[in-house]
């Protein structure tokens, strides 16, 4: 019911509806794990051609696996290592067309070909990152990046 194909309209309009669904799903919930679990599940249903959707949360100088949808994943990622650690350290979105060409890529799932990682920053503090992997090369467009960054901005409102 949440797949991109089931939505009418432009990609931007589809993401607007996704954000409304996220708000309705999370309204009144204050538990961070429950919030992130439902956000990962919602994205996993909405996005096509992805094989992993989830969160890594900051703990000291590393990212630790949080709620996700997909195969078992790397549990700890040092800041500055791989796509997730680099995104967290730089505090910027990384959209990688071919993960095998990314220096220091950490291959948790050999099937992954492209990846997008968006930092979760609230009140100037890094909470973690949203990580989405795809088995397709160059899966994530600039327009999709914009939609996912808006999703994260909505999500941040529900994180303590």
Say what the pTM is: 0.93
Total of domains in the chain: 1
Burial environment of residue 124 by CB neighbours within 10 A (0 to 12, 13 to 18, 19 or more): exposed
25: its two tokens: 């799903």
- CA distances from residue 92 to 8, 83, 85, 149 in whole angstroms, order as listed: 30, 11, 11, 10
**Choice between 101 and 67, residue whose per-residue pLDDT is larger:** 67
Task: Give the domain extent around 30.
Answer: 4-156
Cα(107)–Cα(2) distance, integer angstroms? 28
What HEC string does 113-134 produce? CEEEEEEEEECCEEEEEEEEEE
For residue 134, list its beta bridge partners: 114
- Does the structure show a pLDDT above 70 at 152? yes
Supply the pLDDT for residue 7.
Answer: 59
Cα(102)–Cα(107) distance, integer angstroms? 11
Residue 111's CATH number:
3.30.450.40
pLDDT in tens, 65-91: 999 999 999 999 999 999 999 999 999
């Amino acid at each position: 019911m949440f797949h991109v194909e089931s939505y009418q309209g432009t990609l931007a309009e589809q993401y607007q509806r996704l954000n409304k669904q996220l708000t309705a799903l999370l309204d009144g919930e204050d538990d961070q794990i429950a919030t992130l679990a439902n956000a990962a599940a919602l994205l996993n249903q909405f996005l096509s051609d992805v094989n992993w959707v989830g969160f890594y949360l900051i703990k000291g100088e590393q990212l630790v696996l949080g709620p996700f949808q997909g195969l078992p994943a790397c549990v700890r990622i040092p800041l500055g290592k791989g796509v997730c650690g680099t995104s967290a350290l730089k505090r910027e979105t990384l959209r990688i067309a071919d993960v095998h060409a990314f220096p220091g890529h950490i291959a948790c799932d050999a099937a992954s070909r492209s990846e997008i990682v968006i930092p979760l920053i609230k009140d100037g503090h890094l909470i973690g990152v949203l990580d989405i992997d795809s088995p397709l090369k160059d899966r994530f467009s600039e327009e999709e990046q914009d939609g996912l960054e808006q999703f994260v901005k909505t999500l941040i409102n529900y994180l303590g």
